[in-house]
Amino acid sequence: MTGSAATAMAAYPASIDVNTTAFNPPCDDDANAIAPKMQTAAKAEYGRLDYVASAFTGAAFTRAATLSRTPNDWGYYVHSHGDYYMNADGRRYTGFREDSGDCSQQVVFSKDIKAKRAGRQSNLVFISTCHAADPVTTMPDAFAIAKTKSTGSANQGPEFYVGYLGLQWDSDEWTFEQRFWSGTGGGRAVGAAFDLAMLGAFKNPDFDADWWGTYQWTGVAGLFTTCTSCM
Amino acid sequence: MRSSRTLFLRLGLAGGTILGVVAAWPSTSQAGDPFVAGEPSTRVIAAPTDQLDRAAAHARGLAAALGLPGVSRQAARVDDRFEHRTYDEVTAFDAAGRAVAITRFDLDGTVALAVTLGWRPVIAHGIDAPAATRIAGGLVRAAGLVPSGTPVARESAGAGGWSISWARVVAGAVVRGDGIRISLWPDGSFHGLTRTERTLAAVPTMRIGRAQSVATARRVIDDAFRGAAPSLRSTAVDAAWVAANDMFGATGLDAAAETLRLAWVVRFDAIGALAERLHAVEVWIDAADGHLLGGDVAE
């Protein structure tokens, strides 16, 4: 095996998809300056956690592009409009809107992601949309993350899913996310980072988020659970 | 970068109380620099040993009052540029060296945050809202805080059971994000506490009226959304203290402002096709002079 091949095998890609067009020209002639900050912060932290992080927005964040990348992604972050959408098959699935650089934005359903990933392992998945962690959410399963909370010495593998419940505001999401990234970047376990993030100063008293995965995991990309206390 | 994070993880393994400054991040800028998205927002800064000793002792007392676990503790002074706050952070470890609790104190010694790390499963018969409120009130007082106003209890997945909050109200308006909040597990035991009391600008002696603020906000919406603006309908107007932000490019800064200002918060809900892209927009108008402070969007 050549050196470059070994490097390629060891790489853990993460896609950072952020819908900016829905909140910026041409759909909105003013700028929502918060979403790009969230994109920058997420990409930087995934990089610090040893993912090969790439950010996509506008015409680069389409349903087709996301689905073509997802089989190789170990980490995934998306910030967009999300909901529990009705699919053409007559069932509802958690999903989010692509950006696509225009004002007509297709839904990326969890069903679509699940089909492409086909049960493949994920690491850190952060769905920064409304409803992504509602009790009925179907998104964790798309990334093969069990909706269980493994704490203490329990270990369900190097995986962690974060999302919001219900309708949330960008300023609160930005507060939560920066606190979460500060925790993971500071070496905290992903679960501890979540706990610290939940204690932020949110303008909406109903702000809520949830998680599933291995609490003690560090969030660092890879096949194995890196932590200080899990078995 | 990896070595500095590893240092943070390893120090807790030695057992016994460990005090001192820990390099959680390589220092990249000087205190007082504005936060820049993508950079770490917190960093450990130097502090006198006796002050860190005092923080650790304070943490032991708080642990006894709230029931926080831990047999050893490690203190560090942290500068948080995103939240414009400097605090002493004390991490508690169990006998195996695992981090089990975190407490933070403002530099005047007032508790800012406390949390028991880990998770507890949902139980079949947890406490109800009145019981959660009563327990939370006792915990707040045990932490040396004096709550004011009427607490509100909400079920919260992220809190692990219940979230009970006391809003901060100044000059008749809620200070958004400020106050005291307690998280309880479903059985009523302590999970977390946070207290936020940010700097406020002076209460304006002259205020623009509600109607004027709505008209100004409408113009912001018309300029920002143009053709889609008719699909945004004003649904609520409330006075509140807000931290100016960059939603409409008002500040150019990546963190919300340090000092909060009294504002008229004008909410617009989306209808029709626009509701497929966003749910609602807020425009924050300074109650003193009518200028745009920022806003928010729910997608």
Facing B102 at nearest CB: one of A28, A194, A196: A196
- A5 has a pLDDT exceeding 60: no
Q: With contact defined as beta carbons under 8 Å apart, do A214 and A159 qualify? A: yes
Q: Go through the domains of chain A in sequence order and give each one's CATH number.
A: 13-214 (3.40.50)
CA distance B211 to chain A (A): 23
- CA-CA distance, B102 to B90, in Å (whole number)? 6
pLDDT at A9: 52
**Mean pLDDT confidence for B173-194:** 97
Q: CA B61: distance to chain centroid?
A: 23
Q: Which residues pair with A52 in a beta bridge?
A: A13
Phi, psi of B76 (to 5 degrees): -150, 150
Give the pairing of strands B18-19 and B42-45. unpaired
Q: How far apart are CA B181 and CA B70, in angstroms?
A: 22
Question: pLDDT per residue over A199-215, tens digit each?
Answer: 999 999 999 999 999 99
Q: Write down the pLDDT at residue B209.
A: 93
C-alpha–C-alpha distance, residues A139 and B299, integer Å: 18
Helix, coil or strand: residue A7: helix
Do B224 and A43 lie within an 8 Å CB cutoff? no
Q: Is A182 helix (H, G, I), strand (E, B) or coil?
A: helix
Whole-structure pTM over 0.95, yes or no? no
Whether A96 contacts chain B with CB within 8 A = no
Report which secondary-structure segment, H or E, holds B115.
Answer: strand B111-116
pLDDT at B295 over 80: yes
CA distances from A229 to A151, A153, A218, B74 (A): 10, 6, 11, 17
- Cα(first)–Cα(last) distance of chain A, in Å? 32
Residues of A in contact with B38 (CB under 8 A): 40-41, 43-44
**Chain A residue whose CA is closest to B295:** A171
How many Cβ atoms are within 10 Å of A181's Cβ, its own excluded?
28
For A162, nearest residue in chain B (alpha carbons): B158
- Token pair listed for A203: 């303008």
Residues of B in contact with A102 (CB under 8 A): none
A196 touching B (Cβ < 8 Å): yes
Q: What is the crossing angle of helices A170-185 and A190-198, to 10°?
A: 140
- Strand-strand pairing, B72-80 and B85-93: antiparallel
First to last CA, chain B: 35
Give the pLDDT of residue B12: 28
Average pLDDT over residues A2-8: 43
Task: For chain B, give percent helix, strand, coil, nearest 5.
Answer: 25, 35, 40
Residue B197 has φ and ψ, to the nearest 5°, of -145, 90
Task: Say whether pLDDT at A226 is over 90.
Answer: no
* Cα distance between residue A35 and residue A21, in whole Å: 10
Q: Report the pLDDT averaged over residues A209-225.
A: 94
pLDDT tens string B29-82: 334 579 999 999 999 999 999 999 999 999 999 999 999 999 999 999 999 999
Mean pLDDT is lowest, of B11-15, B129-133, B179-183, for B11-15
Of B158, B193, B277, the CB nearest to A97: B277
Structural tokens at position A141? 């399963």
- Give the integer Cα–Cα distance in Å for B282 and A206: 16
* Mean pLDDT of the B246-264 span: 91
Band of the pLDDT at A3, cuts 50, 70, 90? Answer: very low
User: Is A142 an interface residue toward B (CB < 8 Å)?
Assistant: no
Q: What are the chain A neighbours of B299 within 8 Å (beta carbons)? A: 19, 22-23, 80-82, 129-130, 170
B94 vs B252, higher pLDDT: B94
In which band, very low, low, confident or very high, does the pLDDT at A10 lie, cut at 50, 70 and 90?
A: low
**A144-201 pLDDT, tens digit each:** 999 999 998 889 999 999 999 999 999 999 999 999 999 999 999 999 999 999 999 9
* B25 phi and psi angles, rounded to 5 deg: -140, 145
Give the pLDDT score at A25: 64
DSSP strands (E only) in chain A: 13-18, 52-56, 75-79, 82-86, 92-97, 107-109, 124-128, 149-150, 160-164, 209-214
For A171, which of B102, B167, B296 is closest by C-beta distance? B296
